[in-house]
Amino acid sequence: MQQKKGVLAWALILIAVLFLLVMLVLPLVLVASEALAKGWQVYVKAITEPFAVKALALTLEATVLAVISNTLFGLASAFLLTKFAFRGEALLGACIDLPFAISPVVAGLFFVMLFGRMSPIYPFLRAEHIAIVFAVPGIILATVFVTFPFITRELVPVMEAQGRDEEEAAATFGASGWQIFRHVTLPNIKWALLYGVILCTARAMGEFGAVSVVSGHVRGKTNTLPLHIEILYNEYNFTAAFAVASILVILAIVILILRNLVEWRAKRGLKHAD
């Protein structure tokens, strides 16, 4: 709908632009400005400091593991939900959405109660010297919990819209499950999958509440980047906090650009196909 724009239209555009500038852009500018407030040297020092590097490494580790396992789960569960009819489908869908209704802090609490001192399996874990809560495995589990619905939620509507016909056609030729998935389903959902993976990565990388509960805040050992930022900030080391934060801002912007690129590619692919 393209009309000649009146005063109202320009006013609405102006309000929208101002709202986003103040709410979204200004905080980003602030992060950059605070990070560089004491010059490049301080900035570089802050982000190369051993604890920061270790926190970055742990963040990447947790993110990569969570994204890989959630991708496998996302593919399996979306295939299950869209290509088969079975009793309990709706219940399963609701279960997968559950993390959206649960505060990350509460999610962290779940894992403390499963693996922590009050857990029935704690004596066993202790005897075997397995540390999960207040250790790296707990951080990974909490990250996985908070991010596991993303890929499924991205894939289900796309696969629902595509229907089962192509898979059924392949099945009438006697193709195996893997052949069908590899040659028929996957090529049809690659953009949606990539989109989901990107969303999942963004969320995994920045997870704070759940990780905060299970981490135990052991510096250099169980601190992810967001937790490291919190510690620096609470120590009034603002420049360092913002310097480290700027790494995450850059990652977030890269993710946004990737996300838009994927969306644009997917749309172009569709147009091309028409």
Q: Which DSSP state fits 4?
A: -
Name the residue nearer to other proteins (CB basis): 72 or 130.
72
Q: Is 174 in the site for other proteins (CB under 8 A)?
A: yes
Among positions 9-38, residues that touch other proteins (CB under 8 A) are 9, 12-13, 15-17, 19-20, 22-28, 30-31, 34
Which of 46, 229, 243, 262 is in the footprint of other proteins by CB under 8 A? 229
Who's near 122: CB < 8 A, 6+ residues apart?
A: 115, 116
Q: Is 48 in the site for other proteins (CB under 8 A)?
A: no
Who's near 239: CB < 8 A, 6+ residues apart?
A: 34, 35, 37, 38, 42, 43, 46
Query: What minimum distance in Å lies between the beta carbon of 44 and other proteins?
Result: 19
Name the residue nearer to other proteins (CB basis): 44 or 270.
270
**Two tokens, residue 126:** 């202790």
Amino acid in the structure at residue 205:
M
Q: Is 57 in the site for other proteins (CB under 8 A)?
A: no
Which of 136, 139, 197, 213 is in the footprint of other proteins by CB under 8 A? 213
Stretch that binds other proteins, among 45-53, 124-132, 250-258 (CB under 8 A): 250-258
Alpha-carbon span 122 to 133, nearest angstrom = 10
Three-class DSSP category at 229: helix
Residue 152: Cβ within 10 Å count: 24
State the DSSP H helix or E strand holding residue 93, giving kind and residue range, or none if neither.
Answer: helix 89-101
Which of 141, 155, 194, 243 is in the footprint of other proteins by CB under 8 A? 141
Alpha-carbon span 54 to 244, nearest angstrom = 12
Name the residue nearer to other proteins (CB basis): 84 or 124.
84
CA dihedral 213, 218, 221, 222 (to 10 degrees): 10
Among positions 62-121, residues that touch other proteins (CB under 8 A) are 69, 72-73, 76-77, 79-80, 83-87, 92, 95-96, 98-107, 109-114, 116, 118-120
Q: Is 180 in the site for other proteins (CB under 8 A)?
A: yes
**Two tokens, residue 150:** 């993303």
Which of 208, 221, 237, 266 is in the footprint of other proteins by CB under 8 A? 208
Which of 52, 65, 225, 243 is in the footprint of other proteins by CB under 8 A? 225
Alpha-carbon span 4 to 189, nearest angstrom = 39
Query: What minimum distance in Å lies between the beta carbon of 255 and other proteins?
Result: 5
Stretch that binds other proteins, among 38-46, 49-57, 124-132, 237-245 (CB under 8 A): 237-245
Amino acid in the structure at residue 57:
A
Residue 103 CA, chain-centre distance (Å), reads 15
Residue 162 CA, chain-centre distance (Å), reads 25
Q: Is 200 in the site for other proteins (CB under 8 A)?
A: no
Name the residue nearer to other proteins (CB basis): 42 or 114.
114
Contact 220, 52 (CB under 8 A): no
Query: What minimum distance in Å lies between the beta carbon of 63 and other proteins?
Result: 11
Which of 43, 134, 181, 195 is in the footprint of other proteins by CB under 8 A? 181
